[in-house]
A = this chain, B = another copy of it.
Protein backbone atom coordinates (compact mmCIF):
# COMPACT_ATOMS: atom_id res chain seq x y z
CA UNK A 1 0.00 0.00 0.00
CA UNK A 2 2.72 2.47 0.89
CA UNK A 3 4.62 4.04 -1.95
CA UNK A 4 7.85 2.80 -0.49
CA UNK A 5 6.67 -0.61 -1.53
CA UNK A 6 5.81 0.45 -5.03
CA UNK A 7 9.34 -0.19 -6.19
CA UNK A 8 8.90 -3.83 -5.37
CA UNK A 9 5.33 -4.25 -6.54
CA UNK A 10 5.62 -1.84 -9.47
CA UNK A 11 5.55 -2.25 -13.18
CA UNK A 12 8.67 -2.96 -15.21
CA UNK A 13 8.00 -0.03 -17.47
CA UNK A 14 7.97 2.33 -14.50
CA UNK A 15 11.05 0.79 -12.93
CA UNK A 16 13.04 1.70 -16.00
CA UNK A 17 12.30 5.40 -15.61
CA UNK A 18 14.84 7.82 -14.14
CA UNK A 19 14.09 8.59 -10.50
CA UNK A 20 12.49 11.98 -11.14
CA UNK A 21 10.05 10.78 -13.74
CA UNK A 22 9.29 7.67 -11.75
CA UNK A 23 8.33 9.76 -8.76
CA UNK A 24 6.16 11.95 -10.96
CA UNK A 25 4.44 8.94 -12.49
CA UNK A 26 3.93 7.32 -9.09
CA UNK A 27 2.40 10.52 -7.81
CA UNK A 28 -0.06 10.83 -10.68
CA UNK A 29 -0.94 7.18 -11.09
CA UNK A 30 -4.12 5.80 -9.67
CA UNK A 31 -3.93 2.38 -8.13
CA UNK A 32 -6.61 -0.16 -9.01
CA UNK A 33 -7.51 -3.38 -7.29
CA UNK A 34 -9.52 -5.58 -9.60
CA UNK A 35 -11.55 -8.53 -8.45
CA UNK A 36 -12.04 -11.68 -10.47
CA UNK A 37 -15.00 -11.33 -12.81
CA UNK A 38 -14.93 -7.56 -12.74
CA UNK A 39 -15.25 -5.67 -16.01
CA UNK A 40 -12.36 -3.32 -16.73
CA UNK A 41 -13.96 -1.71 -19.77
CA UNK A 42 -16.81 -2.34 -22.18
CA UNK A 43 -17.16 -1.74 -25.88
CA UNK A 44 -17.90 1.94 -26.39
CA UNK A 45 -16.37 3.05 -23.10
CA UNK A 46 -13.97 5.94 -23.20
CA UNK A 47 -10.50 5.65 -21.90
CA UNK A 48 -9.44 7.39 -18.71
CA UNK A 49 -5.78 6.58 -18.85
CA UNK A 50 -3.28 3.90 -19.63
CA UNK A 51 -3.64 0.80 -17.45
CA UNK A 52 -0.45 -1.00 -16.49
CA UNK A 53 -0.98 -4.48 -15.11
CA UNK A 54 1.05 -5.27 -12.01
CA UNK A 55 -0.29 -8.72 -11.25
CA UNK A 56 -3.10 -11.09 -12.09
CA UNK A 57 -4.66 -11.62 -15.48
CA UNK A 58 -7.11 -9.72 -17.67
CA UNK A 59 -8.87 -11.17 -20.71
CA UNK A 60 -9.71 -8.99 -23.69
CA UNK A 61 -12.50 -10.20 -25.95
CA UNK A 62 -14.75 -8.94 -28.67
CA UNK A 63 -18.46 -9.45 -29.18
CA UNK A 64 -19.93 -9.81 -32.64
CA UNK A 65 -23.29 -8.39 -33.66
CA UNK A 66 -24.88 -11.77 -33.13
CA UNK A 67 -23.50 -11.90 -29.59
CA UNK A 68 -20.78 -14.43 -30.35
CA UNK A 69 -17.53 -13.77 -28.61
CA UNK A 70 -13.89 -14.36 -29.21
CA UNK A 71 -10.91 -13.90 -26.93
CA UNK A 72 -8.40 -11.57 -28.55
CA UNK A 73 -5.57 -11.82 -26.03
CA UNK A 74 -4.69 -11.72 -22.35
CA UNK A 75 -2.71 -9.28 -20.26
CA UNK A 76 -0.51 -10.35 -17.38
CA UNK A 77 2.09 -8.82 -15.05
CA UNK A 78 4.15 -6.06 -16.68
CA UNK A 79 1.80 -5.87 -19.64
CA UNK A 80 0.40 -2.63 -20.95
CA UNK A 81 -3.15 -2.25 -22.14
CA UNK A 82 -2.21 -1.51 -25.71
CA UNK A 83 -5.78 -1.00 -26.80
CA UNK A 84 -6.10 1.92 -24.43
CA UNK A 85 -3.33 3.81 -26.15
CA UNK A 86 -5.31 4.07 -29.36
CA UNK A 87 -8.41 5.10 -27.45
CA UNK A 88 -6.43 7.70 -25.50
CA UNK A 89 -4.96 9.20 -28.61
CA UNK A 90 -7.95 9.20 -30.93
CA UNK A 91 -10.67 9.68 -28.34
CA UNK A 92 -12.58 6.75 -29.81
CA UNK A 93 -14.32 4.29 -27.54
CA UNK A 94 -13.05 0.78 -26.97
CA UNK A 95 -14.05 -1.84 -29.49
CA UNK A 96 -13.65 -4.73 -27.06
CA UNK A 97 -14.35 -5.73 -23.49
CA UNK A 98 -11.88 -6.61 -20.74
CA UNK A 99 -12.66 -8.99 -17.87
CA UNK A 100 -10.55 -9.73 -14.83
CA UNK A 101 -9.73 -13.43 -14.74
CA UNK A 102 -7.48 -13.57 -11.72
CA UNK A 103 -7.59 -10.84 -9.07
CA UNK A 104 -5.29 -8.14 -10.34
CA UNK A 105 -3.46 -5.02 -9.32
CA UNK A 106 -3.00 -2.27 -11.84
CA UNK A 107 -2.10 1.39 -12.05
CA UNK A 108 -3.82 3.87 -14.30
CA UNK A 109 -1.58 6.51 -15.83
CA UNK A 110 -3.57 9.63 -16.72
CA UNK A 111 -3.23 10.93 -20.23
CA UNK A 112 -1.05 13.96 -19.49
CA UNK A 113 1.36 11.78 -17.54
CA UNK A 114 1.40 9.25 -20.36
CA UNK A 115 2.29 12.00 -22.79
CA UNK A 116 5.01 13.34 -20.57
CA UNK A 117 6.54 9.88 -20.21
CA UNK A 118 6.40 9.40 -23.97
CA UNK A 119 8.15 12.73 -24.43
CA UNK A 120 10.81 12.26 -21.84
CA UNK A 121 11.75 8.60 -21.66
CA UNK A 122 13.25 6.62 -24.44
CA UNK A 123 12.79 3.36 -22.55
CA UNK A 124 9.14 4.10 -22.00
CA UNK A 125 8.68 4.72 -25.71
CA UNK A 126 10.43 1.51 -26.60
CA UNK A 127 8.28 -0.47 -24.21
CA UNK A 128 5.11 1.02 -25.64
CA UNK A 129 6.20 0.31 -29.18
CA UNK A 130 7.17 -3.24 -28.45
CA UNK A 131 3.86 -3.82 -26.74
CA UNK A 132 2.14 -2.56 -29.88
CA UNK A 133 4.24 -4.83 -32.00
CA UNK A 134 3.29 -7.84 -29.94
CA UNK A 135 -0.45 -7.12 -30.10
CA UNK A 136 -0.31 -6.64 -33.83
CA UNK A 137 1.44 -9.97 -34.12
CA UNK A 138 -1.09 -11.65 -31.83
CA UNK A 139 -3.95 -10.36 -33.92
CA UNK A 140 -2.40 -11.42 -37.20
CA UNK A 141 -1.93 -14.89 -35.80
CA UNK A 142 -5.54 -14.86 -34.68
CA UNK A 143 -6.77 -13.83 -38.13
CA UNK A 144 -4.87 -16.72 -39.62
CA UNK A 145 -6.28 -19.14 -37.05
CA UNK A 146 -9.83 -18.06 -37.54
CA UNK A 147 -9.73 -17.71 -41.30
CA UNK A 148 -7.80 -20.81 -42.28
CA UNK A 149 -7.43 -23.45 -39.61
CA UNK A 150 -9.75 -26.31 -38.80
CA UNK A 151 -11.61 -26.25 -35.58
CA UNK A 152 -10.66 -29.77 -34.48
CA UNK A 153 -6.95 -28.97 -34.78
CA UNK A 154 -7.35 -25.68 -32.98
CA UNK A 155 -9.22 -27.44 -30.18
CA UNK A 156 -6.54 -30.11 -29.91
CA UNK A 157 -3.89 -27.44 -29.68
CA UNK A 158 -5.79 -25.54 -27.07
CA UNK A 159 -6.17 -28.67 -24.98
CA UNK A 160 -2.49 -29.51 -25.24
CA UNK A 161 -1.47 -25.98 -24.32
CA UNK A 162 -3.87 -25.53 -21.41
CA UNK A 163 -4.38 -28.99 -20.03
CA UNK A 164 -1.36 -30.81 -21.38
CA UNK A 165 -1.01 -32.88 -18.27
CA UNK A 166 -4.19 -33.15 -16.22
CA UNK A 167 -7.51 -31.37 -16.30
CA UNK A 168 -8.84 -27.95 -17.19
CA UNK A 169 -11.75 -26.25 -15.45
CA UNK A 170 -13.73 -24.64 -18.22
CA UNK A 171 -17.23 -24.86 -19.68
CA UNK A 172 -17.87 -25.62 -23.32
CA UNK A 173 -19.32 -22.15 -23.66
CA UNK A 174 -16.15 -20.50 -22.40
CA UNK A 175 -14.01 -22.72 -24.57
CA UNK A 176 -16.12 -21.72 -27.56
CA UNK A 177 -15.29 -18.10 -26.70
CA UNK A 178 -11.58 -18.92 -26.63
CA UNK A 179 -11.80 -20.31 -30.13
CA UNK A 180 -14.41 -17.99 -31.57
CA UNK A 181 -16.93 -20.69 -32.40
CA UNK A 182 -20.28 -21.95 -31.10
CA UNK A 183 -20.81 -23.99 -27.97
CA UNK A 184 -22.40 -26.85 -29.89
CA UNK A 185 -19.34 -27.20 -32.09
CA UNK A 186 -17.09 -27.51 -29.06
CA UNK A 187 -19.45 -30.04 -27.45
CA UNK A 188 -19.47 -32.19 -30.57
CA UNK A 189 -15.72 -32.15 -31.05
CA UNK A 190 -15.10 -32.88 -27.37
CA UNK A 191 -17.57 -35.75 -27.44
CA UNK A 192 -15.77 -37.16 -30.42
CA UNK A 193 -12.44 -36.90 -28.56
CA UNK A 194 -14.03 -38.65 -25.59
CA UNK A 195 -15.18 -41.49 -27.87
CA UNK A 196 -11.60 -41.83 -29.06
CA UNK A 197 -10.49 -41.93 -25.43
CA UNK A 198 -8.40 -38.78 -25.64
CA UNK A 199 -10.33 -36.81 -23.00
CA UNK A 200 -12.85 -37.44 -20.24
CA UNK A 201 -15.66 -34.97 -19.80
CA UNK A 202 -17.30 -33.74 -16.64
CA UNK A 203 -19.49 -30.76 -15.91
CA UNK A 204 -17.24 -27.71 -16.18
CA UNK A 205 -14.10 -29.82 -16.47
CA UNK A 206 -12.11 -31.58 -19.14
CA UNK A 207 -9.58 -34.25 -18.25
CA UNK A 208 -6.98 -34.51 -20.95
CA UNK A 209 -5.79 -38.08 -21.34
CA UNK A 210 -3.75 -37.91 -24.53
CA UNK A 211 -4.48 -35.52 -27.32
CA UNK A 212 -3.00 -36.40 -30.64
CA UNK A 213 -0.34 -34.36 -32.35
CA UNK A 214 -1.14 -33.28 -35.90
CA UNK A 215 1.37 -35.90 -37.07
CA UNK A 216 -0.72 -38.78 -35.75
A162 at the interface (CB under 8 A from B): no
A149 at the interface (CB under 8 A from B): yes
A83 at the interface (CB under 8 A from B): yes
Interface of A, secondary structure class, is helix
Give Cα A130 to B199, complex, Å: 46
Contact of A132 among B64, B66, B72, B132 (CB under 8 A): B132
Given contacts A85-B129, A148-B65, are A143 and B137 in contact (CB under 8 A)?
A: no
Q: How far is the CB of A112 from chain B (nearest CB, A)?
A: 14
A2 at the interface (CB under 8 A from B): no
Q: Mark A121-157, 1 if CB is under 8 A from B, else 0.
A: 0100110111011111101111110111100000000
Give Cα A147 to B145, complex, Å: 10
**Protomer copies:** 2
Give Cα A189 to B91, complex, Å: 39
Q: Which B-chain residue is minimally distant from A131 (CB atoms)?
A: B132
Q: How far is the CB of A55 from chain B (nearest CB, A)?
A: 25
A89 at the interface (CB under 8 A from B): yes
Give Cα A103 to B183, complex, Å: 47
Are A86 and B139 neighbours in the complex by a CB distance under 8 Å?
no
Q: Which B-chain residue is minimally distant from A128 (CB atoms)?
A: B129
Q: Which 4 A/B pairs are nearest by Cβ-Cβ distance?
A: A86-B133, A64-B148, A139-B139, A147-B180
Q: List 22 A-B contacts (CB under 8 A).
A: A62-B140, A64-B144, A64-B149, A68-B147, A70-B147, A72-B140, A85-B133, A86-B136, A89-B126, A89-B130, A90-B130, A90-B133, A95-B141, A118-B125, A118-B129, A119-B122, A128-B129, A129-B132, A139-B143, A142-B143, A143-B143, A146-B146
